[in-house]
Amino acid sequence: MSLYLKKHPWLVWLTFVVLASGLSMAIVWAQKATTAASPEPLANVKPSGPHPVIIKPGPATPRLDTGLKDKAGNAVTVACNTCHASTTPDVQRNTSIDLFQAHRGLQYQHGAVTCLSCHNASNYDTLHLADGRSVAFPDVMTLCSQCHGTARRDYDHGSHGGMNGHWDLTKGGRIRNNCINCHDPHHPEFPLVQPVLPPRDRISVPKAEGSH
Ligand code: HEC
Ligand code: HEC
Ligand code: HEC
Ligand code: HEC
């Protein structure tokens, strides 16, 4: 074998090149596999310049208010999964009008989207993406973006969602709103605005003849 290799030294190089390229392909694949395993951390500081762009995180994990008060007078709240560990999830539900055992009075209007398109039927203390990966409430934007790609694209380009701070990131940082700082996840469309009379313009409109 070694004699054979001495005769053909290029074979050593060939083996080396094949092994090295195989290894680098394996690394690329492994990196892809690990990034796919966790949803994109959107509600995070993105260092895309000398100064950061901070996206405000979504809400903390909600808890249900029992309406009771403890001895110190604080509201007694329970985790969602306290009840939902033992309820049968209603995967068809896409309305709130017939909720009578719990969550009475919840206002809901979001297309024909079912409650459990967002809430995670296997753990109500989280949300979930279409492929089943769970999303913590503070990362809710990942979930919105999955269905509203156009709005998300506009958001990333800066024409949707507003911002505070600097447009030029070499001058200073920027703070961006979370989708649900503006849109209620349960009825995201804004109510129509009623037209009213324009304000009286006393500066740019010339006074009518004879008026004082
Ligand atoms: C006191 C018990 C209780 C708690 C705590 C509770 N739920 Fe519920 N929830 C229910 C019941 C019961 C229903 C079914 C309602 C009905 O049929 O009228 C329900 C229904 C729902 C549904 C509709 C889908 C389904 O499975 O029917 C969602 C979504 C939901 N709850 C989310 C939550 C979230 C989020 C929290 C935490 C903020 C929470 N729940 C806390 C009892 C509870
Ligand atoms: C578009 C995704 C989405 C859908 C669809 C959705 N939710 Fe929610 N839900 C959320 C988010 C996000 C929060 C956390 C909001 C917050 O804390 O400000 C939440 C909070 C809640 C809470 C706790 C806070 C509260 O408002 O009482 C309950 C209960 C709840 N949802 C029930 C439901 C029910 C019932 C339905 C279906 C009729 C439903 N949700 C549909 C995203 C959704
Ligand atoms: C499972 C897919 C899905 C998810 C997740 C989802 N939406 Fe929606 N959304 C819809 C559908 C479907 C409609 C109804 C579209 C229509 O009527 O044309 C809608 C409607 C809307 C509208 C009103 C659109 C209009 O034409 O005026 C807004 C705003 C909105 N969603 C924001 C959000 C936000 C914010 C979130 C995250 C909390 C979210 N959506 C999560 C599917 C989704
Ligand atoms: C600064 C407040 C604000 C933020 C943040 C915001 N929106 Fe909006 N969004 C609006 C307003 C205002 C409208 C227009 C009124 C309407 O259609 O209800 C709108 C419209 C929409 C619409 C319907 C029209 C369209 O462009 O398709 C969708 C869907 C939507 N937003 C989704 C999102 C999502 C997803 C996010 C997060 C990535 C987001 N919005 C963040 C204020 C906001």
- The rounded Å distance from CA 69 to ligand 1 centre is 21
Q: Where are the domains of the chain?
A: 38-182
Return the pLDDT at 199: 82
Ligand 1: which residue has its CA nearest to atom 29?
115
Average pLDDT over residues 78-99: 95
Asked if residue 143 has its Cβ within 6 Å of ligand 3, the reply is: yes
- The rounded Å distance from CA 94 to ligand 3 centre is 13
pLDDT at residue 169 tops 80 = yes
Average pLDDT over residues 175-194: 93
What does the pLDDT look like over 28-55, one tens digit per residue? Answer: 676 554 444 444 444 444 555 689 999 9
40-46, long-range: CB < 8 A, 24+ apart:
40/142, 41/139, 42/139, 42/141, 42/142, 42/145, 43/138, 43/139, 43/140, 43/141, 43/142, 43/178
Q: Tell me the ligand closest to 179's alpha carbon.
A: 4
Asked if residue 78 has its Cβ within 6 Å of ligand 1, the reply is: yes
Return the pLDDT at 1: 54
Return the pLDDT at 207: 66
The predicted model scores a pTM of 0.83
What kind and span of H or E run contains 63? strand 63-69
User: Among 183, 186, 190, 193, which is best to mutate for testing ligand 4, by the most ligand atoms less than 8 A from CB?
Assistant: 183
Which ligand 4 atom minimizes the distance to the CA of 188? 18
Dihedral of alpha carbons 85, 117, 91, 191, sign:
positive
What does the pLDDT look like over 125-166, one tens digit per residue? Answer: 999 999 999 999 999 999 999 999 999 999 999 999 999 999
Return the pLDDT at 18: 76
Q: In this structure, what token pair is assigned to residue 63?
A: 């808890």
Largest Cα span, the chain:
115
